[in-house]
Amino acid sequence: MGDLDKIFDSMSDRSLFKNKQILQTNYSPSNIPHREKEIEQIASILAPSLLGEKPSNLFIYGVTGTGKTLSVQHVTNELMKRVKDNKILRIEYINCKLKKVADTEYRILAELIKKLGGSVPATGLPTDQVYLRFLEILENSPEKLFILVLDEVDQAVKKISDNFLYNFTRLNSELSDIQISLVGISNDVRFLEGIDPRVKSSLSEEELVFPPYNALQLQEILRKRADEAFKSKCVSEGVIAKCAAFAAREHGDARRALDLLRVAAEIAEREASSHIKIKHIDNANNKIERDKILAIIETAPKQFQLMLFSIFKLIKQNKGPIFSGDIYNYYQNLCKKVKVDILTQRRVSDILAEFDMLGLINATVISKGRQGRTREIKLSIPQNLVDKCEEILIDSLGL
DNA sequence: CGAGATTCATGTGAAGTATACCTTTAGGCTTAA
DNA sequence: AAGCCTAAAGGTATACTTCACATGAATCTCGTA
């Protein structure tokens, strides 16, 4: 047993982290640098709720990792602190992007009802029934105000259609004892452009734009968190700057920067290094990318995997860009071999589009004159990953 | 020779189908008094 | 009579198909110089 003690002890000695939690993406710091102005604005917009008056609907944009969610949560937390058990106000937060949780109108409502203490089945009820149930629960709750935060609404609206937002904004007219305010958060800056003007005017009574952080601001954020998260003096010079630079290149995504730092530290730890060095950042960058891709490939449905396999094989064979028609042919043969139903070209086309969205491939529609039109497809995952990916596919497809 | 029409292989949108689940409802059966 | 089970009716979501039309540059056609 003494031996184990020694191992574990040396482990904790070696650990670079004082508090790893702080670098986790869901950590909410008590102070949010460079967002003071925005937080103040959100606060002043939502402040009437403390007096039981309905605040304006608010709409917030900004690209990923600009602190939108964090700021809103910060303000709502503060609000709830002020309210205490006064029961005039209720705030719920829903992330519309979470697959299988809240990415359809039905599911959002279901999730909402669950949070309010009710329950609905995962499927089956007519949507208007779900609305009714939701209204009923709201009416029976003691609060006078309900603030609904919809994170990543753009995703939901893209999938559903904008009239579900309209439904929400109209809900107030059916409620007598309680009022609803919406706070929408969107990553897509052009989100409101393609939206029904009625919804637009009612939803964005107030608007707020979160600009991306620049490299300097990112550095400051990182440094602050690093100070709390790590034991002292284990971050080498230039590491923070490099993290910030990486993330600044990805349109100022602070979340990305923090991930980078955390993974880099994990790598350094595993290597039993006493410092986080610059090379660890590079490794971390690769690892994050790599893990993301592998996860996608591993969990993809069978048909998707067959498609991917076809793409990989063809790319290897051809050494150049390949075309959707070729992929379809290869895929058909593959299906016959594995005894799987063949999907239509139409569907395959959509699947390819999804791969493009996921960033696995890069597809461009081109016209080859008399040879018709196709998608020209290039792989956009690093070469050194392809073999590993193929391995996974062979494994999970049982080839 | 060059402008305009053709053509090909596929992209893409809309609408429909199949499947898997869900609730509600009503009828028939069992159970216990 | 109350309680329980089951099947039917009526909904939703998802993955996919069918149908029909849109694309856009290489190639063909044909009038013209």
- Asked whether strand C has any atom less than 7 Å from the CB of A121, the reply is no
Q: Report the footprint of strand B: residues with C-beta closer than 7 angstroms.
A: A 121-125, 323-326, 328, 345-346, 349, 352-353, 365, 369-375
Lowest mean pLDDT among A107-121, A145-159, A344-358: A107-121
Q: How many helices (H) and strands (E) does chain A have?
A: 16, 8
**Domains of chain A: which residue ranges?**
36-209, 213-296, 300-397
Looking at domain A300-397, which CATH architecture does it have?
Answer: Orthogonal Bundle (1.10)
Q: Fill in the DSSP letter of residue A57.
A: P
Q: Nearest nucleotide by C1' from A160 CA?
A: C13
Nucleotide nearest to A371 in CA–C1' terms: B8
User: Mean pLDDT across chain A, nearest whole number?
Assistant: 81
Task: Give me the pLDDT at residue A346, please.
Answer: 95
A13 Cβ nearer than 7 Å to chain C strand: no
Concatenated DSSP letters of A356-378: HHHTSEEEEEEE-GGG-EEEEEE
Query: Which pLDDT belongs to residue A102?
Result: 57
A213-296 and A36-209 share a CATH fold: no
**Ranges A39-53, A83-97, A317-331: which has the least confidence:** A83-97
Residue A193: per-residue pLDDT: 61
Q: How far apart are CA A185 and CA A201, in angstroms?
A: 16
Q: Calculate mean pLDDT across residues A278-290.
A: 87
Residue A398 has pLDDT above 90, yes or no: no
Q: Band of the pLDDT at A64, cuts 50, 70, 90?
A: confident
Instruction: Give the nucleotide with minimal C1' distance to the Cα of A374.
Output: B10
Q: Given 3.30.70.100, 2.40.37.10, 3.40.50.720, 1.10.8.60, which CATH number is that of A213-296?
A: 1.10.8.60
Side chain identity at residue A38, one-letter code: E
Instruction: Supply the pLDDT for residue A393.
Output: 92
Q: How many CB atoms lie within 10 A of CB A302?
A: 11
Confidence check: pLDDT of A117 > 80: no
Classify residue A22 by its DSSP letter.
G
Predicted confidence at residue A349, as pLDDT, reads 95
* Interatomic distance A394 CA / C1 C1' (Å): 64
Percent of chain A clearing pLDDT 90 (strictly above): 20
**Superfamily for domain range A36-209:** P-loop containing nucleotide triphosphate hydrolases (3.40.50.300)
List the A373-379 sheet strands across, edge first: A322-323, A373-379, A361-367
Opening angle at CA A238, ends A236 and A241, nearest 5: 130
pLDDT for A194 beyond 60: no
User: Which nucleotide is nearest, taking the CA of residue A126 and each C1'?
Assistant: C11
Give the integer Cα–Cα distance in Å for A390 and A303: 15
* Centroid of chain to Cα A373: 34
* Model pLDDT, residue A305: 94
- Rounded to whole angstroms, the distance from the CA of residue A128 to the C1' of nucleotide C8 is 22
Distance in Å from B27's C1' to A167's CA comes to 39
Alpha-carbon distance A399 to A395, whole Å?
7
Residue A83, C-beta contacts closer than 8 angstroms, at least 6 positions apart: A50, A89
User: Taking 60 as the threshold, does the pLDDT of residue A156 lie above it?
Assistant: yes
> Count of CB atoms within 10 A of residue A228's CB?
13
- pTM for this predicted structure: 0.71
Of A178 and A374, more confident: A374
Q: Separation of CA A49 and C1' B26 in angstroms? A: 48
Average pLDDT over every residue of A263-282: 82
Give the CA-to-C1' distance from A127 to C5 in angstroms: 28
Q: CA dihedral in degrees (A166, A168, A172, A176; nearest 10)?
A: 140
Q: Residue A94 and residue A111: Cα distance in Å, rounded?
A: 8
- pLDDT band at residue A366 under the 50/70/90 scheme: very high
User: Which nucleotides of chain B are near protein (any atom < 7 Å from a CB)?
Assistant: 6-14, 20-23
pLDDT of res. A323:
94
Q: Is the CB of A372 under 7 A from strand C?
A: yes
Largest CA distance in chain A: 77
From the CA of A162, how many Å to the C1' of B1?
54
CA distances from A276 to A232, A236, A270 (A): 12, 6, 11
Q: Which of A104-118, A158-172, A293-307 is the least confident region?
A: A158-172
pLDDT at A99 over 60: no
pLDDT band of A270, cuts 50, 70, 90: confident
